[in-house]
Amino acid sequence: MNSVMVDFTLNGEPRTVTVKPNMTLLEVIRDEFALTGTKEGCGQGECGACTVILDGKAVDSCLILISQVQGRTVTTIEGLGKDGSLDLLQSSFIEAGAVQCGYCTPGMIMSAKSLLLKNSNPSVDEIKRAISGNLCRCTGYTKIIKAVQLAAMNARDGSAGGEK
Amino acid sequence: MLQAFDVIRPRSLADALDAIADGNATLLAGGTDLLVRIKKRLLKPQLVVDLSALSELTEIEDEREQIVIGSLVTHGQIVESTLANRYLPVLVQGCATVGSPQIRNTGTLGGNIANASPAADSLPPLTVLDARVIIQSLAGKRELSLDAFITSPGKTQLRSGELITGIAVQKMQDNERCLYRKLGQRKALAISVASVAVRMAFDPAIRTSSASGIAFGAVVPVIRRVPELERMLSQGPLDLQAIKEISERAGEFCAPISDLRASAEYRRNMCSSLLYEVLYDLTS
């Protein structure tokens, strides 16, 4: 098995990895870059715990081979906050109590982020659709949906609500 | 960790056709199905040819009477495409029900066709649209109708060294209506239990359809149009009684299996119900 060299942008930084070609994007993020916010749940695209944003769109990083991200831009949960402060979505999840065990949270936030990138004022149905590929077994989703609404509202107000 | 294999990533279609010419390569389009099958050890590739650099296969093109969709166009791209929404709304409806947002952003139309699953959500819409599959190899280009291309569950006419490069579909006309409806065990991330796509040229003044297409998904080994039912749609005004009689016969044209998702009997009944709902909505 020959290694592959892949150049891509990870959380705003240009990166080059030389890895085994059978590695998934999820494995590279976690094992090569030690960015362990992105979780593995089912490994089959059913749970969304491994969701990252690839060129502006939410994808399951467990179903993407590393060669497929050549030249592309990946954002993980670690790439959302800036200069030590949380992204509005992260602070809204805390404020709304949308986190229980926390395992689904990074993937849930990345799916919500991909929605807010293209729609600053989503309806409840649009939020439900955007997170329909993310399973949460604790919260019952209500507080997650409220958190996304809160983040959208705070972003529209331009307020720093919840940011530290 | 996935089993060991080598990966090459050709930079052009010509390079890709070269790379797959000897027939030993496994093709990687979006990967949402392929990676699952490798993880489950249903597939043990030696060499994977990653098609992700072939940007020439990622466009949706307006070619006068028809739309040509590159094989690497994702379901998400189709859902957002102005051209597809205008001319192929039934395909948009089908693609919008595939998997989850993440799967739709990665999985491709070409991959969905190549996998030839009887439950694939793009296939009933493509079938009623009489889609043609464009195939290339070093030997040249050929086109096959979708229903000739798929021969049995998971099996197609794709020969070794060949690649699906596009899907050609005639534009729907302004007097045509269409609807795809799917029954799954839940709203997202659910494989179809049964589904139906209907397309018809309908004159609301006389409540009559002059031409139509009907195809069921997840209830037949290979998704095909159902000419017997289509003829019934054109045999008179589509009032409630006619819709009821036509949809009650849906089960005769299905050959469902029983599996962990549903029994054959349930699937047969659901075909009737789905067809009734769709015809009701299309004619109101």
Q: Which helix (H) or strand (E) holds A148?
A: helix A142-157
Cβ contacts of A54 on chain B, cutoff 8 Å: 105
Q: How many domains does chain A have?
A: 2
Question: CB-based burial of residue A8 (10 Å sphere; 0-12 exposed, 13-18 middle, 19+ buried)?
Answer: buried
One domain for residues A38 and A63: yes
**Residue A66 belongs to some domain of the structure:** yes
Cβ contacts of B100 on chain A, cutoff 8 Å: 45, 48, 60, 132-134
pLDDT per residue, tens digit, chain A (164 aa), is 899 999 999 999 999 999 999 999 999 999 999 999 999 999 999 999 999 999 999 999 999 999 999 999 999 999 999 988 999 999 999 999 999 999 999 999 999 999 999 999 999 999 999 999 999 999 999 999 999 999 999 998 875 444 44
Which of A46, A79, A112 is the last residue before a domain boundary? Answer: A79
Q: Which residue of B50, B76, B103 is in closest CB contact with A68? A: B50
**Residue A163 belongs to some domain of the structure:** no
**Residue A67 belongs to some domain of the structure:** yes
Q: What is the mean pLDDT of residues B87-101?
A: 97
Q: Range of A148's domain? A: 88-157
| B213-246 per-position pLDDT tens digit | 999 999 999 999 999 999 999 998 999 999 999 9
Which CATH number is A121's domain given? Answer: 1.10.150.120
Which CATH number is A23's domain given? Answer: 3.10.20.30
Which of A116-130, B141-155, B186-200 has the weakest average pLDDT? Answer: B186-200
DSSP H helices in A42-136: 88-96, 105-118, 124-130
One domain for residues A112 and A153: yes
**Residue A47 belongs to some domain of the structure:** yes
Domains, chain B, in order of start with CATH, read 6-50 (3.30.43.10), 57-170 (3.30.465.10), 176-283 (3.30.390.50)
Please give the full DSSP string across chain B, using - where no structure is assigned. Answer: -PPP-EEE--SSHHHHHHHHTTS-EEEESS-TTHHHHHHTTS---SEEEE-TT-GGGS-EEEETTEEEEETT-BHHHHHH-HHHHHH-HHHHHHHTTSS-HHHHTT-BHHHHHHHT-TT-TTHHHHHHTT-EEEEEETTEEEEEEHHHHEEETTEESPPTT-EEEEEEEEPPPTTEEEEEEEE-SSSSS---SEEEEEEEEEETTTTEEEEEEEEEESSSSS--B-HHHHHHHTSS---HHHHHHHHHTGGGG------SS--HHHHHHHHHHHHHHHHHHHH-
Which residue out of B100, B103, B108, B191 would a mutagenesis test of the A interface target, given it has the greatest number of A Cβ atoms within 10 Å? B100
Residues above pLDDT 90, as percent of chain B? 89
| B45-69 per-position pLDDT tens digit | 999 999 999 999 999 999 999 999 9
Which of A34, A54, A79 is the last residue before a domain boundary? Answer: A79
One domain for residues A94 and A64: no
CB pairs under 8 A between A and B: 94
**Residue A164 belongs to some domain of the structure:** no
Reported ipTM: the value is 0.95
One domain for residues A8 and A71: yes
One domain for residues A68 and A97: no
Residues above pLDDT 70, as percent of chain B? 100
B52 lies within 8 A of chain A by CB:
yes
Which residue out of B3, B102, B191 would a mutagenesis test of the A interface target, given it has the greatest number of A Cβ atoms within 10 Å? B102
pLDDT of the residue at A163: 43
**Residue A57 belongs to some domain of the structure:** yes
pLDDT of the residue at A159: 52
Q: Which residue of A21, A22, A45 is in closest CB contact with B103? A: A45
Which of A35, A61, A79 is the last residue before a domain boundary? Answer: A79
**Residue A123 belongs to some domain of the structure:** yes
Asked if the model's pLDDT at residue B190 lies above 90, the reply is no
One domain for residues A72 and A93: no
